[in-house]
Amino acid sequence: MTIQAINPATDELIQSYDSMMVDEVNGIIEKANEAFLKWRRTSFKERGVLMKNAGRILTENKEKYARLMAMEMGKPIKEGRAEVTKCAGVCDYYANNAEFLIKPEHVMTEASKSYVAFQPIGLILAVMPWNFPFWQVFRFAAPALMAGNTGILKHASNVPGCALAIENVFIEAGFPEDTFRTLMIGSGMVEGVIENKLVKGVTLTGSTLAGKSVAKKAGELLKKSVLELGGSDAYIVLEDADLEEAVNICVFSRLINSGQSCIAAKRFIVVENVLSEFTELFVKKMKEAKMGDPLLEETGVGPQARRDLRDDLHRQVKESIEKGAKCLLGGYIPEGKGAFYPPTVLADVKKGMRAYDEELFGPVGAIIGVKNEEEAIKVANDTVFGLGGAIFTKDVNRGERLAAEEIESGSCFVNTFVRSDPRLPFGGIKESGYGRELSHYGIKEFLNIKTVYVK
Question: What residues are annotated to the active site?
Answer: 228, 262
Burial grade of 222 (CB within 10 A; 0-12, 13-18, 19 or more)? exposed
Of 139, 383, 366, 376, which Cα lies nearest the Cα of 259? 366
User: What is the per-residue burial (b if ≥16 Cβ within 10 Å, else e) of 112-123?
Assistant: eebbeebebbbb
- The gap from C-alpha 388 to its chain's centroid, in whole angstroms, comes to 12
Cβ-proximal residues to 165 (8 Å cutoff; 6+ apart), any chain: 65, 68
What number of CA atoms fall less than 13 Å from residue 130's CA on the CB side?
25
With beta carbons less than 8 A apart as the criterion, state whether 433 and 427 touch. yes
With beta carbons less than 8 A apart as the criterion, state whether 125 and 201 touch. yes
With beta carbons less than 8 A apart as the criterion, state whether 426 and 409 touch. no
Cβ-proximal residues to 91 (8 Å cutoff; 6+ apart), any chain: 51, 52, 54, 55, 58, 138, 142
Of 447, 182, 244, 232, which Cα lies nearest the Cα of 356? 232
What number of CA atoms fall less than 13 Å from residue 237's CA on the CB side?
31
Cβ-proximal residues to 442 (8 Å cutoff; 6+ apart), any chain: 139, 143, 425, 426, 436
3-class secondary-structure state, position 245:
helix
Distances, alpha carbon 62 to alpha carbons 51, 88, 92, 127, 133, in Å: 16, 10, 16, 23, 14
Give all strands of the β-sheet with 364-370 in edge-to-edge order: 326-329, 344-347, 364-370, 265-271, 233-237, 389-392, 413-414
Please give the Cα distance from 235 to 269 (Å, whole number).
6
With beta carbons less than 8 A apart as the criterion, state whether 444 and 102 touch. yes
With beta carbons less than 8 A apart as the criterion, state whether 302 and 402 touch. no
With beta carbons less than 8 A apart as the criterion, state whether 86 and 111 touch. no
